[in-house]
Chain A
Amino acid sequence: MAKLPVTLTVNGDGYDLLIEPRKTLLAVLRDTIGLTGTKEGCSTGDCGACTVIVDGRAVTSCMVLGVTAADKAIMTIEGLAADGELHPVQQAFIDTGGYQCGFCTPGFIMASKALLDENPARTEEEFRHALGGNICRCTGYTKILEAVMQAAEEIRTTA
């Protein structure tokens, strides 16, 4: 299949790529660029493990073609910790034990980050609605919700 030239901006860095149009953004991030922190769980947009942030919105990267992501700002889990400091969501997941195997964690963290950027003042019920597209099979979600609410509190008090 003929490849197309595309420039992607990922975590602030520009990548000049030649990619097959059938490749998903997830495949481009993982296989072409080598950013394997974003995970593939279902390839059908049902589990949320591949969530990245595109122009400020949480997106399941398995449902987006790589060639359509040119000229957009893409952020992956690798780009979240700034200047060696963990993001409050990352720190909260560590503090509360909001993960066990860690495979869904990058997706949960990116979905939570997008959510908190939009509005950190939400109720538990609202967080449950907003994170309903991400599946975790290990934790039963209790400690994930605790993590997200702890991060929300942290963001609200330091903002």
Chain B
Amino acid sequence: MPEKKEYKVIGTRPIRHDGVDKVTGRALYGADFHTAGLLHGRVLRSPHAHARILSIDTSRAEAYPGVKAIVTAKDLPDAADKVADLGEGAVHLKYLCDNILASDKALYKGHAIAAVAATNAHIAEEACALIDVAYEVLPPVLEVRQAMEPAAPLLHETLKTGSLGETAEEPSNVASHLQHKKGDIEAGFAEADVIIEREFVTGTVHQGYIEPHNATALYNPDGQLTVWCSTQGAFTVREQLTEILQYPISKIKVVPMEIGGGFGGKINVYVEPVAALLAKKTGKPVKVLMNRADVFEGTGPTPASFIRVKMGATKDGKLTAAQTHLAFEAGAYPGSPVGAGAMCIFAPYDIANVLIDGYDVVVNKPKSAPYRAPGATNAAFGSETVIDELAKELNIDALEFRIMNGAKEGVKRADGPVFPRIGFIESVEAAKQHPHYTSPNGKKHHGRGVASGFWFNIGLASSVSISVNPDGTINLVEGSTDIGGTRASIAMQAAEVLGIPAESVNPSVVDTNSVGYTAVTGGSRTTFATGYAAYEAAQDVKRQLIARAAKLWEVDEEDVQFADGEFSCINGKEAQLSFHDLSARLGETGGPVVGSAAVNPPGAGGAFATHIVDLEVDEDTGKVQILRYTATQDAGKAIHPSYVEGQIQGGVVQGIGWALNEEYIYNAEGTMTNASFLDYRIPTCLDLPMIDTVIVEVPNPGHPYGVRGVGEVPIVPPPAAIANAIYDAIGIRMTELPMSPDRMLKAMGKI
């Protein structure tokens, strides 16, 4: 159970340790890396969304002055029939490799076909234009329902649907079907007095990090491969490289540079193996950078989806049954986040009868990648809209309806887990009591909407080591990429244990040769799990320092007590030493003190959020303007409240963009027609009000300080909350994302 006491460091707002580097331009990101003799790589990409690759002739490009090497899929090891294990279940190695450089088929516009290394980036780009690729163009499949049709063109001739343990006979674009069942769905609907069933469509959206993907690779003559890149997980890159290149893991070192945003999109590798192949062929360091169009067209967006939701409730407001059909676009290769969507969709509610069917479907779009609570936002757009409609139908306040049916400790989710102590009801109560919710709302074309969201959060492995400096500070070494302030939130947990200020910790994020295995910065796990490792490593330091004090005072270790940064003797001797003073005496008591811990904590503890939005609909243009936004969220325990607020505000705004503007717009040939930041509109500060946050703290029993992951769940409620507010404003239910001006005008019957 979490420690219950007053904290000295936790809950305060110190300056993050990388603060000055990031405001002075000193922080080094992947593209900033430079080394002597550097070559520059450029990737040639498919102009077709679906095509068979008949031949690739590189001879003209090879002869171009300044070109040093060209690679294609032929330079990758033979992947046929091999299975790769990246720690999250087996994947076909061929799919992994083909997404790096296509072998037999190009499966999306922008699919990497070949790459050139040259003495500068311009030459590499010019040489790409001299590579002759012969394609047999095939009809593209661009939408999930179309892809599921039996007559749809097939992306993979050998892909057969895996469904509940069985494999189908005939090939299909449906990679898999999953199901979660609880209770008796028919009986549940029979009990209901009101049943609402609706269909929803969501668009393909991108994580939209501002820093494009990058990688620099170097093969030394001794076979040591070093890769410098911006990634959410250096160890995850190492795992993927060892599989894709079929190269020993011990010969690969991944050096994580600073990262310019990820949101799930910088977990899969893209240019890292390409840089490695080019480096091997040239014997020189090679840097490969993407441009913005490459990022949109060649990296994982989060998928479009088709969702059917049916829910029933009794007339006194009890939910009796919930059913959903979730069909998610995986992109070119299997692996959409439909599983996570299925876990989250009805999780906030205690419903006796649930049936969830999920389908993972390949289409001719880039292979999807995680994006902040992957799958949960799509799913909640459906379920939270239907919840709103039920509440309206039953004439019950929408937040009260959520409280009446809210999940709490002991409730079993449809996908199996039983909730420990959670803070859903508390997050809804906080919203219900908020001055925003109790303020008047009634102007013409103004609307107010609410929605809730759930994300399960993950734990996974983290390692930390701490060494004590003679001046009373500590060096903390970790393997977790710091995307938004986790150096601080991890350091603060070690500081709390040792009774020292956060400023007395020097945290470093290091390469894969320099710290124990640490899983990716994702799943809202870093402050929870790497923070847990820092807590345990600090406990190790504390134990060792107690032994040193005992040695100095010639007493038993049991006679030394540590509290508030002071070691004291409790057997009658008047002896006391601060952490600072004892640090200076390590040399005379046995030498350096280094503490370490490796953890894989199981109790990640789910996160819940409830949002309130006020907006205005412009009847003439169809534009929706957000006027006021309040987000409440259970953070368990906010280690650094400012950075928790920042996570909430950032997630909310990504959700607003998803709701109102963002989508991949395709033409009939399967080309994305808006692959730039001008045409793919992510919110600017001009589009938004200040985002108000309320941090609710229901400590997570699975962490010593009660931490729950906070990063992902804030993106989940916005699309549904906004759709519900639009209904409140103009009486129309929007069921398609984004709710852009053209869709609004259509829904209002104006075009």
- Contact surface of A with B, Cβ cutoff 8 Å: 1, 20, 22, 30, 34-44, 46-47, 49, 76-78, 80-81, 86, 90-91, 93-97, 99-106, 109, 127-129, 131-145
Contact = CB atoms under 8 A, between A and B. Distances in A.
B212 interface: yes
Nearest to A22: B122
B690 A44 contact: no
Contacts of A37: 24-26
Interface stretch (B13-21, B187-195, B740-748): B13-21
Interface residues of B, number: 58
A112 to B, nearest CB: 11
Contacts of B420: none
A39 B260 contact: yes
Contacts of A139: 646, 649-650, 653
Nearest to A124: B690
Contacts of A143: 642, 645-646, 649
Nearest to A23: B122
Nearest to A97: B642
A46 B676 contact: yes
B685 A99 contact: no
Given A97-B16, A127-B685, A137-B650, 10 more contacts: A46-B292, A81-B24, A86-B20, A90-B24, A100-B484, A101-B260, A102-B260, A103-B210, A139-B649, A142-B690
Given A42-B292, A93-B23, A137 B18 contact: no
Contacts of A134: 684-685
> Which of A100, A131, A145 has the largest count of B CB atoms less than 10 A from its CB?
A100
Interface stretch (B29-37, B233-241, B557-565): B29-37
14 contacts: A41-B260, A44-B292, A44-B677, A94-B23, A96-B642, A99-B22, A100-B483, A100-B646, A101-B484, A103-B210, A131-B685, A140-B646, A142-B645, A145-B685
B23 A86 contact: yes
A47 B276 CA distance: 30
A106 to B, nearest CB: 5
Contacts of A39: 29, 31, 210-211, 260
A139 to B, nearest CB: 5
Closest 10 pairs between A and B when the two form their complex, measured CB to CB: A37-B25, A103-B260, A100-B484, A102-B22, A140-B653, A140-B649, A77-B25, A46-B677, A36-B32, A132-B686
Nearest to B34: A34
Contacts of B209: 101, 103, 137
Interface of B: 13, 15-16, 18-29, 31-32, 34, 122, 207-212, 258-263, 291-292, 483-485, 642-643, 645-647, 649-654, 676-678, 682-686, 688, 690-691
Contacts of B25: 35-38, 76-78, 106
A95 B19 CA distance: 9
> Which of A34, A40, A132 has the largest count of B CB atoms less than 10 A from its CB?
A40
Nearest to B677: A46
Nearest to B38: A31
Given A41-B292, A42-B292, A97-B485, A140 B652 contact: yes
Contact of B23 (A42, A43, A90): A90
Contacts of A128: 685-686, 688
A49 B677 CA distance: 12
B24 A77 contact: yes
Contacts of A36: 25, 28-29, 31-32, 34
A95 B685 contact: no
B27 to A, nearest CB: 6
A97 B648 CA distance: 13
Nearest to B209: A137
Nearest to B656: A140
A143 B19 CA distance: 14
A101 B122 contact: no
B11 to A, nearest CB: 15
Contacts of B26: 37, 78
Given A80-B24, A81-B24, A128-B686, A40 B650 contact: no
A41 B189 CA distance: 51
Given A95-B15, A101-B260, A105-B23, A137 B649 contact: no
B343 to A, nearest CB: 26
B34 A138 contact: no
Contact of A42 (B260, B263, B484, B676): B676
